[in-house]
Chains A and B, each alone.
Chain A
C-alpha cells in the first residue's frame, strides 16, 4: 500500500478526485477529496454564533479562559522579545514552508524512501477512515488491546480513539491535559492546552472521581495533580506494547520524525513499547535537517513561551537494541491536497500548530475552543477546518449529522492579532476574507435564490457606486432622526440591526450630512 498518490495540483487544473492507489502518480496533478463527514472531529455540528452564545453564558469558562490565555500571551511576548532576529526567523519559517509546499510531492516521496531504507514502513491514507483502518489493523496484528498515546492533533482530527475503541482497543492518552480530557469524557478546546477550559479545582474533582487509587486528600495544586497523573500512568507505560504518536515535523532527507513536548510522557511512548505508529499530516514534512534550526526556535517560543521545550525526541526508522522494534508512519491527506490546490488557501497548511493565534484572539479568548466545533479552533481553525472539509452547509448527507464549517470564517472581527503572532506569518485575516467569499458563493449555489444579505449587499453596491444615489439614500436614512429626537440616540432598530441595538445604542442621523455641510461652506470648491 506504500505508494504515493500525491502530487502538487497545478493551479487552475480542476480537482481530479482521489487518484487510484494502484498507480504511482507523483508529479501528476492530483487532488484528494475533502475530509469526509461522519468520522473524526473536523466538522462543526452547530453554527458558530449559536455555539458561541452558549459558551459566553458560562462565567466559569470565561474566567478560566481569560486567565489562561493571559498567562500564555505574556509568556510568549517575553520569549519572543528576547530574540533580536525574531522577524527574520518568521520570514525564514514562511519561506521554508512556502517552498516546501511548492514541491510537497517530491519531499514526501523522499521521506518515504528514507524511512523505508531505515527499517520503517510508510502507509498512505487518503482520509480519516483509511488512516483509522490502517492503524487499527497494525495494532490488531500485534495482538495488543491497549495503546499508549502521545498528544497528537492528527489522531484527534481523524477520531482514532473512537475507531480503536470500536475495534476493542483501549487508547490511553498520556499527556496530562489530554488525560484530563479523556477521563472527563470531554473534548479538547485548545491545540496546545486541550484542557484550558478547566481549572485546578475542576481537575482535582475529576481525578478524585475517576482515578481508582488516588489519595483522597489530593489538593488542587499543580504539582500534586501532576504527581497523581504520573502514578496513574506509570503502570500503563510499563505494560504497553504499542504506542501511537503524531509528529511535529519530519525531515525528508534523513527520514527523521520529531515530537516536541514538555512532560516526558512522549519520550516514554516513543521509546518503551515494541511498536510505534505515527500518524502525520502530509504538510508537516520539511526538506532538510538544517530546517530544524528555524522551527525548533519558532515553535516553543510561540506555543509555550519557552526558549526550548523540555523534551525533543527525534527518531529515524528503527535501531536494533534501542527503542521500538517496528515503526510505522501513516501519512494523512484528509482534505490537505484539496486545500493545497488553492493558490492562496494553501497558506493555512503552513501551520505548525503552535496555537499562538488562539491565545491572542479576542474571539477565542471569550468563546473557547468548543464553540468552533472542529478540533482545530481559533483563527487558524477558522481557515483550516473549512478548507479541509469544504464549505457545504447543513446536512452532510453521509449520516454524520450536520456540518456548519461555513460559519467559521465569519467568527472573527478581522482584528489581525493572529497574523502578528503567527510564527510562519500566515495572513489569517486575508484567508478569512477569501473564505467568506467562498462561503457566500457556496450558499448562493445551494439556494439558487439570493439570500436577503446578498440582495442588500448588491443594493448597497448599486447605491454607493453613484454619489447621487448615495446622497438620496442618506436623506432617506435621516427619517430615523424622528425616532431618536428625544434622547439623541436610537435604542431599537428593526432586524437585522436589532442585533446591534440589543446591546448598543445607534447614532441618530445628523441634521446635515458632511457633503451638505461642505457644499454650504465651500461653495467655490470642488
Chain B
C-alpha cells in the first residue's frame, strides 16, 4: 500500500527518529511510504489556544498538501485527532463549506499509527523485537478523541522479548495539554508528578506512548528528576528488530 506520512511538526523538528522509525516499520512490512514535502502543522496549537482564524490558514494548507493521498498516517493520536475532529468544523465555523467538504475527505483517510497497522493493514504482530521492561501510557487524544482503544497494547503484546508492565491510573492525563503546560504550569506539573510516580513505580526501563508531545512532557519530567525510566515512542519499539535494535 502507498501510505502518505504526516510526520507532524513536532516530530519533524525535534523527534525525527520517530518519523524514521515509522518509515522503517512500514517499509519493512512491504509498504511504500511517501512524504508530501509541503506539509507543516495541523494547527491544533492555534485552535486550542483560541486562535481559530490563524488555524484555518494551516487547515487550508494541510488539505492542499494531503488531498490526493490514499491513506495518511500520523505517529500522533493528537495531531490525527485534530485533523479528524477539528479541521472541517473550523472551516464550517468560518463559513467555508467547500473547504469543510475537502477537509472531511482528508479526515476520513487519516489514521494514527496503531489504527493503520491494526485496522487498515490488518497486522498485530509486526515482527518487532525489544528486550526491555516497558509500560504504556494511553494518551488522552488517542484514547478519547480517536478511540484507539487497546490497539497499541495489542501491537505491544506481540513484540518479542518485551515485558509489558501495567501502568496504574493509565488513562489519566499526564498534564501536557499543549499551551496548558505553560499557562497553568503548576497544575500541569502536579499532574505530571502523579504520572511519573506511577510510571517509575512499575519498574519499567521504558515508558511508551503514541504521541511525541506527551512523551516530551513525561520525558522532560523524568529527565529533570534523574529517574531511571526513559521515554520511547511506540513507533520506535515497533520498528526495532533483533537485527536492527532501536
Contacts and interface: CB of A to CB of B under 8 A. Distances in A.
A401 interface: no
B57 interface: yes
B186 A56 contact: yes
Contact of A433 (B34, B48, B175): B48
Given A366-B187, A503-B189, A506-B220, A464 B177 contact: no
Contacts of B67: none
Contacts of B20: 514, 517
Nearest to B51: A457
B97 interface: no
B68 to A, nearest CB: 10
A47 to B, nearest CB: 10
Given A416-B141, A499-B182, A513-B13, A362 B172 contact: yes
B187 A457 contact: no
A465 B221 CA distance: 31
B37 A464 contact: no
A453 to B, nearest CB: 7
B144 A500 contact: no
Interface in A241-295: none
A108 to B, nearest CB: 30
Interface in B128-146: 140-141, 143-145
B87 interface: no
Given A453-B49, A458-B54, A461-B55, A420 B183 contact: no
A466 B223 CA distance: 34
B181 interface: yes
Contact of A411 (B16, B187, B191, B192): B187
Contacts of A513: 12-13, 16
Contact of B35 (A441, A453, A526): A526
In this complex, the interface size class of chain A, counting residues with CB under 8 Å from chain B, is: 35 or more
Interface stretch (B38-46, B112-120, B148-156): B38-46
Nearest to B86: A433
Interface in B17-54: 17, 19-20, 23, 34-41, 43, 45-52, 54
Contact of A419 (B41, B144, B192): B144
Given A52-B184, A414-B180, A504-B221, A457 B13 contact: no
Contacts of A433: 47-48, 50
B117 to A, nearest CB: 20
Given A440-B51, A470-B40, A507 B184 contact: no
Nearest to B177: A413
A62 B190 CA distance: 10
Interface in B64-84: none
A31 to B, nearest CB: 21
A470 B62 CA distance: 13
10 contacts: A48-B184, A53-B186, A363-B184, A413-B191, A433-B50, A436-B49, A438-B50, A460-B54, A467-B38, A504-B189
